[in-house]
Structure 1
Amino acid sequence: MSGERLAKVLAHLTGDAAHRDVAMPSEAACEASVALLGVSGAQLTLTRGTGRRAYNYATNQIGTLLENMRFVLGEGPCEHSLRSGVPVLVDDLDSWENHERWPLFTLSAGATGARAVFVFPLRSGAIHLGALVLHRTSPGPLTSEQVADAHVVTDVVMSLVLDELTRVHVEVPPPTGMPLRQAEVHQAIGMLSVQLGVSMDEALVRLRAYSFAQDKPVVEVARDVVTRHLRLSPNGRFDPR
């Protein structure tokens, strides 16, 4: 990800969010991504490590219907991406190939007005948090620039989601009087940074991602890391000891 592209995407998302009355920053980012990426709508689907749906948000009714179809039918581009952990870009839902792959979903999705669906998974290592799903009411692919921007938007949305759902203040506190919980989180971040060979910021993302996927408070996960009951590997897998 280039710094220039990140700055461009962040400037758009921030400027757009300032004009919207949306409660959560991740939802505002979804709304702003529609114009940035040249699509008709966007939806955010989050799942726990068990695969059950934890949260979803859609910018329009079509997105809501597409997510409900995925959840009920258990097939479609989003379901495929959630299971595989890779992007699924479908520029024409009504193609013969896609009717063969997802017969129930494509038949139902056609009735909503969606003609193209582009799914970008929210991932941290091997942990899959969900997906950002874009749709168009006319067939056609995303351009290479739009795909690159969509990857940046996905990273931004994932960061916002983790901050919202597992919020922990990690600013460096005064040397005295540091709460034990905060100390454990700081220590766990430092240990993960060394174990995974990543920056402190990336270690925090991994900690939060595991917390969300396992439906456990961040402080509990941090304690498991500090006491060496849990060790994350560089590829994102975990080793409960």
Structure 2
Amino acid sequence: MSGLPALDLPAGLEHLAASVTLVDESPHALPSCRFLERDVLGEAVLRLRNSYPEARPADLAVLWARMYGFRLLAAALPAALFDRHLPTALDETRMALDPRDGCPLCLQVPHAGRMVETDDPFLRLQTAIRDHLGPVLDAVARHMRAPLTVLHGDAAVTFKMIADDIATAALRSRYPLSCDVGPLSTAKTWPDGARNILSTPFLPTTRGKAGMTRRTCCLHYRLQDGNGFCDSCPIAEKRRRAQEAL
């Protein structure tokens, strides 16, 4: 079901498998390292104006980065959980973009990777997260003036949601997971002390409140008139508490 040979995933993860394929000659794919460049990044992000003509560039950048992070993590995380290390470094991958609006569509990797022996999730995912996603988010913040805390919060939520999807599919299909990636959502730092941008995607649950509240708002409500708050939005939660206090 995946575009990669030798990567066998449980049923129900087709939406993740579609986010990775082998490098091809598509004219709409660029080397991932090019998105560290102001002009290349800006051109891709501002194509989103075709869908959101009134949105501010910084808000478009948050949306674009969220989609980029999803494609990268949807490629790296399933493989890592099933004993395969994909080549996800900035200088060896490409990202295919939608030619109409610049949306990241699929991460292209040069080969199907190799088997890994370590069960340490930090080692399995260091290249994808610290050496690829982190620098791209830094570039989005720097070149597009997007709030880095929001970019990190979106990445943390995306990581947690993908990890939960994989765990659910694996349990249903009786696929054994080879490592626990939970610490990447809880640890404040990496083992060497570097900041973990995926830490604490959700706030502690309020007593008596169902569901979870994100640590940061994704700013989707600002893209166009009529967009509301999602069920887990921290802004909506603050407004709810303010109303209850009246």
Same fold (TM over 0.5): no
Q: Which has the higher contact order (CA 8 A, sep 6+)?
A: 2
TM-score in terms of structure 2 length: 0.26
Q: Comparing both structures, which one devotes a greater share of its residues to strand?
A: 1
TM-score in terms of structure 1 length: 0.26
Q: Comparing both structures, which one devotes a greater share of its residues to helix?
A: 1
- State the structure with more CA Rg: 1
